[in-house]
Homo-oligomer: A and B are copies of this chain.
C-alpha cells in the first residue's frame, strides 16, 4: 500500500520510521491530573516566566524542545526539518518558540489534529529518504487559547458542560530512519478530510470533531482490511465526554464497534469531577503530551503493542464563529507499533 491505491486514505510504510525520542511539558493543572507522572516537566508558573500568554507558549515550546534534544542526545543541526504549529492565529507561538533553533521548518495548521498532521508529513518525508531526523511537535496554552478564541480569562465567562478545557502543554517527537532502543515505529497513516456536519456550537467541539474522527478510523479499517481487534487501543485527541459518545455511536452504526478498545486523551488528562474541566481537555497540546507521556510509556512497557492515534481538530476561528459559520472537523490517524 506504500504506492497509494485510488480512493484509499492510508499509507503503510515499508521502510520503518522510528520514534527516536519524545518529550512533553505541561502546566500545573495537567501536572495534577491522572497523567501527571508521565510528563517530563511540570511548570508551576502559568506564564512560564514571561509577560504574555503568547510568549509563555513560545517559552514552553522552547523548553520542551531543549528537553527533547537532551533526551535524544541530538543537536539542532542533526534535525533536517521541523513540522509543527499551534492554535494561535498565524502560528505565532511556534514562530517565536522555535526560531532560535535555526532548523528548516514547515508550519502546519490542523487545529487540535496538528500532532497527527505533523507526524504524518514527517513520517512520509523520512520514509521517502529526505531526512534522517525530523521533529514533529505542537503546543497549546489554556489562557492563550481562551484569549484567542473566546474571552480573556479576566472576563470570567461561564461555559456549558459540553465545553472543553484547553490543555497547557507542548509535546514533540524525533522521528528517525534509524532504530533507537525505544522500539516504537510509525507503521502507517490515514489522512483526514474536512468533515462538516453543520454544528455551529463552538462550545461543543466534540460534536464537531467526532464525525471527522469516525471518518478516519473507518477509512483506516477499510484501507487495511482490519477492525478494532487489530489495535490494542484506538485513541482520539480531544473529543471529550460528549464527542466520545457520538463517535462510539457512529462507529457502531458503521458496523465497526470500537468500545472497549477506545480512549480519548481529553478525557484521560484531567480528573474532570474535581478539576472542573467540563467535557475534558482539548487543544493541540492535549493529544501531543498524552502521546509523548502516557501513550508511549504504555507502549514501551509492552502494555500496548499497536495503537491507532487520531488527534482531532475543530476548524474555526473567532471570525468564522462570529460570522455564523459551522465548525467543521478534521482528524489525522497514525499507527504506532512496537517492533
Contacts and interface: CB of A to CB of B under 8 A. Distances in A.
A124 B117 contact: no
Contact of A193 (B11, B103, B318, B323): B103
A106 B52 CA distance: 30
Interface stretch (A107-115, A156-164, A274-282): A107-115
Given A103-B193, A107-B110, A111-B90, A54 B320 contact: yes
Interface stretch (A33-41, A125-133, A178-186): A125-133
A317 B95 CA distance: 10
Contacts of A104: 9, 191-193
A292 interface: no
Interface string A170-214: 000000000000000000000111101000000000000000000
Nearest to A132: B4
Instruction: Please give me the 8 A-B residue pairs with the lowest Cβ-Cβ distance, nearest first.
Output: A128-B128, A89-B89, A90-B317, A104-B191, A99-B194, A95-B315, A92-B320, A107-B109
A127 B4 CA distance: 12
Contact of A105 (B52, B95, B194): B194
A117 B121 contact: no
Interface residue range, chain A: 35 or more
Interface of A: 2-4, 6-7, 9, 11, 52, 54-55, 77, 80-81, 85, 87-92, 95-96, 98-99, 102-111, 117, 120-121, 124-125, 127-132, 148, 191-194, 196, 315-320, 323, 325, 328, 330
Contacts of A6: 77
A7 B77 contact: yes
Copies in the assembly, this chain? 2
12 contacts: A4-B129, A4-B130, A9-B104, A54-B319, A89-B319, A92-B317, A92-B320, A96-B325, A104-B192, A104-B193, A107-B110, A125-B128
A108 B114 CA distance: 10
Given A89-B90, A320-B90, A325-B96, A117 B107 contact: yes
Nearest to A110: B107
A194 B96 CA distance: 9
A185 B88 CA distance: 35
